[in-house]
A and B are shown apart, each in its own frame.
Chain A
């Protein structure tokens, strides 16, 4: 049984369909990266999985099976027991995710007290331990968030997510707001932590480079749908969806001799209208007529899949050839 099994999940904000019939599974110990342009519905997916959507956001349909139980139909009071002990999150901007009027220590202790209360000294130890783990001097435990730099806050958010050693962590762009050097540092930090804690994760980012580095598998999201899922290495070497291909071209190898960044012309579609056909078709360099009319369901087979008429064609051709 997969740790997390998302089935036909659809999420809306009023008339905006931000996540459209998304299905994916996540195995224990696996890190699934989710990439896509801004507004493609990555955060929405993350919030929906944890049932943390803010109004007017609402799950329209679908199931989110966590260890076999459907979180969508679980009562909030029952869900509360699973929160943080089994599923925790790192929010898009760690800066605003910390309560500005509570010390760092308080924010750790809140979580501990709510789920696994222990003695004061044990708690103190634990906080210090967690801070050290993300290379922050434990002295900072008694500081307030505004007294720390952005990078520190982000690392604290990560430590906070790990404090109860959950099975699943949702990372929503944990590095986006930071500059390259800090970003790099956090990614390395995460890798170490993963080897220590063996958590599974949904790693959301628009930075394909980072995702490819950290994730076992990568899901590419476009206009609320997954267009391609593949193990990282495979995605890097043989992207199937034209969107994935285009996206990869935006990340040149910094060491190569000639650097040429190729963008994707055009803009992502308006999510408040549902159009027939492939959402990427208007920007696709390999568009065919049927792309404009026939939509294609994404099917995940053995942890991989692609939603492209073109990809289907090549597959067919191969079989015949």
Chain B
């Protein structure tokens, strides 16, 4: 299998001023993963864990501080040198909030036509036909009922389809979907997720699916990457990660899902802490019920725990030998 996207030790820090003093925020810390062609990879983590940051780095909206991002074997910085338009065409994005991602004053037709005109140089009849085809692809049928509508005339789910159609329009190879369903009603989510699955299988698009919802990740994705405070803490086969999480943080995520079926009340094992210091040690140690001496001393590396399942936790390390010092 060939990989289409590879991240190698990508880091990004922001600085923010609070009460006058500057504070560094590690939005991405030496993040590495590889995305296979025509796969769907889910990037999971709580709010502020750096999911959107990684999406921005991949789509070229922001620059990484260090590390490499390779798309089709060519580094992003190479793409940037004169081939940014082509890169953009190949790497598209679906935004979280469909209400915000569409200009309230532009019709569906105009919105979808832009990438077609810009990247595929379509005009007149062929443009119109392609727009129709795309609307069919995203199941906005009958097409003529939707093509000339303004965003306010559509429901959230329909809007998200328009957004998706626009992303697909340029025939991209990779689509980064940043929480595409979190703003939608549960009842509508399934259809959008199914649409993504369909685009992957029928159009051969590769997806990076960003979410904080472990269930949908498990349903949709082939692989899952779990992110905590900018660090990849666990990654592997979707089913394995979601059904049998190894990292205490992933376990926390799973437990958090409301579960009326659960027979007995499971007390929440972990406290919430709003801030941890960023000096050495495991990023999760302050919230971790199993924190050990070693967790304060070094940063655990991602290691193979099972086949296709890596975790960065000392609980699953054989020895401190694999500890990396930052």
Binding site for B on A (CB under 8 A): 37-38, 135, 149-152, 178-185, 187-188, 206-210, 212-213, 232, 236, 246-247, 250-255, 257, 259-265, 267-268
Contact = CB atoms under 8 A, between A and B. Distances in A.
B258 A210 contact: yes
Given A209-B257, A267-B158, 13 more contacts: A37-B185, A135-B272, A181-B252, A181-B272, A182-B46, A188-B267, A209-B260, A212-B260, A213-B259, A253-B261, A263-B189, A265-B191, A267-B188
Nearest to A184: B256
Interface in B115-157: 155-157
Contacts of A261: 189-190, 193, 215-216, 219
Q: How large is the interface on B (under 10, 10 to 19, 20 to 34, 35 or more residues)?
A: 35 or more
B225 interface: no
A271 to B, nearest CB: 13
24 contacts: A37-B185, A37-B187, A38-B156, A150-B47, A180-B46, A181-B46, A182-B46, A184-B258, A184-B268, A206-B186, A210-B258, A212-B260, A213-B259, A213-B260, A246-B187, A250-B189, A251-B260, A252-B219, A254-B242, A254-B259, A259-B218, A260-B219, A264-B187, A268-B155
Interface in B194-231: 194, 212-216, 218-219
Interface in B229-280: 242-243, 252-261, 267-268, 272, 274
Given A208-B186, A236-B261, A259-B215, A184 B157 contact: no
B274 A149 contact: yes
Contact of A254 (B46, B188, B212, B215): B215
Interface of B: 46-47, 155-158, 185-191, 193-194, 212-216, 218-219, 242-243, 252-261, 267-268, 272, 274
Contacts of B272: 135, 151, 181-182, 185
A181 B253 contact: yes
Nearest to A251: B186
B213 A180 contact: yes
Nearest to B194: A263
B212 A179 contact: yes
A33 to B, nearest CB: 11
A152 B213 CA distance: 21
B274 A263 contact: no
Contact of A152 (B186, B253, B261, B274): B274
A206 B186 CA distance: 8
Contacts of B274: 149, 152
A259 B212 contact: no
Contacts of A252: 215, 219
Contact of B258 (A151, A178, A187, A260): A187
Contacts of B47: 150, 178-179, 182
Contacts of A264: 187-188
Contacts of B260: 208-209, 212-213, 232, 236, 251
A246 B191 CA distance: 13
